[in-house]
Amino acid sequence: MADPINPAHYQGAGGMQVIDFIEAFDLGFCLGNTAKYSSRAGRKGDAVEDLRKAAWYLAREIEHRTKMRGGQ
């Protein structure tokens, strides 16, 4: 039976879950979602859609960091 909480598309090589990577590097919400969508691209539907989501979260993180350092 498939695991509805931790489905196969959340696991990479050796069964490592993306959440473990996100937590290990303390990525936070936007960078965590960037990693999540990038790593599962094509494993759960349309790869391009996942990559667009990853790009959206990365752009948001860049915008936030730019504002934090004074808009440079």
Q: Over 90: is that where the pLDDT of 49 sits?
A: yes
Q: State the CB neighbour count (10 A cutoff) for residue 21.
A: 15
Amino acid at 68: M
C-alpha closest to that of 58 among 47, 46, 66: 66
Q: pLDDT tens for residues 23-36?
A: 999 999 999 999 99
pLDDT of residue 1: 66
What integer pLDDT is reported at residue 25 of this predicted model?
97
With cut-offs at 50, 70 and 90, classify the pLDDT of residue 17. confident
Q: Which of the four pLDDT bands, split at 50, 70 and 90, describes residue 54?
A: very high
